[in-house]
Amino acid sequence: MMSRVSSPKPKQVLVIGLGNPGLSLAQQAWLRSQETLGFLRSPSSSSGSLVSSTGKTSRFSPTPFWQPRISQALLLCMINKRPSLILIIGLGNPGLEYEKTRHNAGRSAVTKWQKKEGLPEFAQNPKQQALVSEGKIGRTKVVGALPETFMNKSGIAVGALAKYYKAKPEHIVVVHDDADLPLGTLKIVFNRGSGGHKGVESVMRALKTEAFVRIRIGIGKNTKWHERDLNKVVIGKFTPQQQTLFFKGMRKAIEALSTIAQEGRERAMNGFNK
């Protein structure tokens, strides 16, 4: 009896739609799969072909007779491009006294996302100095983590988690509060500076890169805040009116996390950065 050997997932998949210029059925199916996955296309002058990329592009309007079954087959082939594991970190401070503070927006969002997705309850992981929940969303393994090191030392836990799970920085999502964004809003960024956020700076030092995904949850923009005032604001709690706006941004963050896990960061950025 032959033993079954699993082959490693390829890092890159090349899919070619054959046909004459003018968009044949196969070419249209290829383009449709690109559009569904959130990849962009642009003309390649050197090869004379249409290629998938992450650069700017003009919109493609498919004709009514594209073949859905071919597109679905292409999607199944290209699913291997997605990471096998995503590490999702909710920044904040441990302890009941900080639970409903502005600074714990990221921690609260990841906790609510874990419940929404039906993932296991968070469990203490002393070696990584974090609360951890492991599960699967579709074919992707997801690890939700809440550092127990306090905000300004978040990198200690994130570095240990990344090493333990062998997670590449580009497959790590950090969710945190952001005083530069209005309440009820969020922004998804990749490979961007910390904006002065101490927790994010700690993570960047630990990972030795800025090239990871961040979901910035607005906690109330006010250009008159000084650093001393801001320190008081972020550990302060919301008024009932502010709480309503905050929950609006929280719901967006939870949806964005699910989109990243299922469809990738590009799709999430296109959908939520409006």
Divide the 274 residues of the chain into consecutive groups of 10 and give the mean pLDDT of each group: 45 56 54 54 46 46 47 47 87 89 92 96 95 93 96 96 96 94 93 93 97 93 50 61 86 95 93 90
At 11 the pLDDT is 56
At 241 the pLDDT is 80
Has residue 8 been placed in a domain? no
Has residue 152 been placed in a domain? yes
**What count of other Cβ atoms lies within 10 Å of the Cβ of residue 92?**
29
Tell me which of 103, 171, 176, 197 is the catalytic residue: 103
Cα distance between residue 179 and residue 136, in whole Å = 32
At 219 the pLDDT is 87
At 239 the pLDDT is 75
Domain that holds residue 59: 25-78
At 102 the pLDDT is 85
- 70 and 167 part of one domain: no
- 192 and 73 part of one domain: no
- 30 and 49 part of one domain: yes
- 73 and 145 part of one domain: no
Helix ranges, the chain (H):
25-37, 68-78, 105-116, 154-165, 198-207, 227-234, 240-263, 265-272
- 93 and 195 part of one domain: yes
- 49 and 168 part of one domain: no
Two tokens at 108? Answer: 């609260």
Has residue 222 been placed in a domain? yes
Looking at the 3D structure of the chain, how many domains does it have?
Answer: 2
Has residue 13 been placed in a domain? no
Q: CATH number of the domain that 236 lies in?
A: 3.40.50.1470
Helix (H, G, I), strand (E, B) or coil at 22: coil
Has residue 19 been placed in a domain? no
Residue 176 annotated in active site: no
Instruction: Quote the crossing angle between the two packed helices 68-78 and 25-37, to the nearest 10°.
Output: 50
- Give the predicted TM-score (pTM) of the model: 0.69
- 167 and 229 part of one domain: yes
Query: Tokens 């300004």 map to which residue?
Result: 152
- 52 and 184 part of one domain: no
Has residue 36 been placed in a domain? yes
- 66 and 92 part of one domain: no
Cα distance between residue 108 and residue 75, in whole Å = 34
- 141 and 108 part of one domain: yes
The domain boundary, picked from 78, 108, 141, lies at 78
Cα distance between residue 26 and residue 7, in whole Å = 28
Has residue 162 been placed in a domain? yes
Contact between residue 70 and residue 26 where contact means Cβ atoms under 8 Å apart: yes
End-to-end Cα distance, the chain? 56
The domain boundary, picked from 39, 54, 78, lies at 78
Strand order through the sheet with 130-137:
123-125, 130-137, 140-147, 85-90, 172-178, 213-218, 186-190
From the list 182, 179, 221, 220, the residue with the least C-alpha distance to 200 is: 179
- 66 and 140 part of one domain: no
- Sequence-distant (6+) residues with CB within 8 A of 142 are 85, 86, 88, 117, 119, 134, 135, 136, 261
At 24 the pLDDT is 54
- Sequence-distant (6+) residues with CB within 8 A of 257 are 88, 109, 110, 113, 173, 175, 215
Has residue 16 been placed in a domain? no
- 94 and 202 part of one domain: yes
